[in-house]
Amino acid sequence: MAMPELPEVETVRRGLARFFGRDRPRIASVRRSPLPLRAVRWRTVPLARLAGARLVGVDRHGKVLLLRLDGPATLALHLGMSGRLLADRGEAPRRPHTHLVLRFDDGRRLRLCDPRRFGSASALAGHPSGADLGLGPDALDHPWTAEAFVQAFAGTRRTVFDALLDQRRIAGLGNIYVQELLFEARIDPRAAAGRLARRSTARLAARVRPLLEAAIRRGGTTLRDFLDPSGHAGTNANALKVYGQAGAPCKICGTTLRPLRLGGRTVTSCSRCQRTGRSHTTRATTRLLP
C-alpha cells in the first residue's frame, strides 16, 4: 500500500485552501486521539490548547500539512498510510475511523479519518519551517538545479533510489514518484547517488517539478485509500509509467519492465531506458525478482 506523497498532500492543501477561502475561522473544539507526529524537532503543546485559535493559513512541507494558527501555533498533520483529511459542514454524516475533529465556530469541520492509524498530528508552538522539523528542501518548491542535487547526495554511499526517499535530503518524494522520476531521468535506481554525473543530476532537476505538477493537476495518485478533502479520488494512477507496471512493456521502448528488490522495496524499471549510472551501481542490497 502506498503512502500519500507530496502531490497527494498538496492536493489536500489546495482543497482546504478552497474550502476555507479567505475566511479565518476560529477553532471551537478539538476532539482527538491521533498519534503524535514522529521525530518532530520542535516544542509541542497539548492539542486541546488549539481550541480558540484562529486559522490563518494552510501550508505544506514535503508530506507534512501545516495548519497555521494565530497564537501562534501550528497543527502539523501526516496522513500516514491510509489517512484522509476531510472537510465538511455540520450536517455531514458521521465518518468511521475518525481520530481527530476540528470544529470551527462557523460550523465547518475538519476530520482526520484513518483506518490503519498510521496518521499523526502534533500541535507545535509557533510557526516552524520544514528545516525546523528536520526535513530537507521541499521537492516542489525548492529551486532544484544539478548542483543542488549534487549537494543533496554529497557524502552518501546509498543508491539514488534510497537517497531520493530520504526526507532529510529532499522532502516529499516516496516510492511512487521516485520510481517515476528515475524513469523520466533515465537513471538506474541502483546507481550510487554520490557518483552520479552532472548531466544525470541535471535531468533530475529538469524533471522533478514537471512530474509533481502533472500529478497535482490530476488530483494525486489514488491506489486504494487516498481522497481529497471533498472525498474525490485522484486520477494520476492512469499516468504511471513504471510504478506497479512490472511485466508490462515499457511505454518508450517496449522492453518488458522487470521488478527488483532494492532496500526492502520492490522497484520497477526499464533495463533498456534506465542505463545511466549502471557502471557504478550499488548491488549489495539488490536482487532481480522473477
Dump the DSSP string for 10-51: HHHHHHHHHHHTT--PBEEEEEE-PBPPTT--S-EE-GGGGT
Instruction: Please confirm, yes or no, whether 4 is among the known catalytic residues.
Output: yes
Catalytic residue chosen out of the listed positions 4, 34, 128, 229: 4
Domain stops at, among 133, 165, 196: 133
**Bridge partners (DSSP) listed for residue 58:** 67
The domain that contains 222 carries what CATH number?
1.10.8.50
Give the count of beta carbons closer than 10 Å to the beta carbon of residue 214: 13
Average pLDDT over residues 208-237: 93
pLDDT at 89: 84
Catalytic residue chosen out of the listed positions 60, 63, 68, 103: 63
pLDDT digits over 52-83, tens only? 999 999 999 999 999 999 989 999 999 988 78
Q: Are residues 25 and 124 in the same domain?
A: yes
Q: Pairing mode, if any, of strands 44-45 and 55-61?
A: unpaired
Q: Which domain holds residue 62?
A: 6-133
Catalytic residue chosen out of the listed positions 5, 8, 10, 184: 5
Catalytic residue chosen out of the listed positions 26, 49, 265, 272: 265
Q: Are residues 203 and 92 in the same domain?
A: no
For 45, the grid coordinates are 503543546
Q: Which of 5-9, 187-191, 212-216, 281-285 has the lowest mean pLDDT?
A: 281-285
Tell me, letter by letter, the H, E, C secondary structure of 89-156: CCCCCCCCCEEEEEEECCCCEEEEECCCCCCEEEEEECCCCCHHHCCCCECCCCCCCHHHHHHHHCCC
pLDDT at 280 over 90: no
Residue 210: pLDDT band with limits 50, 70, 90: very high
Average pLDDT over residues 221-243: 92
Q: Are residues 153 and 88 in the same domain?
A: no
The domain that contains 123 carries what CATH number?
3.20.190.10
Q: How far apart are CA 110 and CA 17, in angstroms?
A: 12
Average pLDDT over residues 28-47: 78
In a domain, 141, yes or no: no
The pTM (predicted TM-score) of the whole model is: 0.92
pLDDT at 50: 93
Residue ranges of the alpha helices (H) in 155-256?
160-165, 175-184, 198-217
Instruction: Please confirm, yes or no, whether 251 is among the known catalytic residues.
Output: no
pLDDT digits over 90-146, tens only? 766 666 788 889 999 999 999 988 877 677 888 999 999 998 999 999 999 999 999
DSSP state of 201: H
pLDDT at 118: 73
Instruction: Please confirm, yes or no, whether 60 is among the known catalytic residues.
Output: no
Residue 284: pLDDT band with limits 50, 70, 90: very low
pLDDT at 160 over 90: yes
DSSP state of 78: E
Domain stops at, among 76, 99, 133: 133
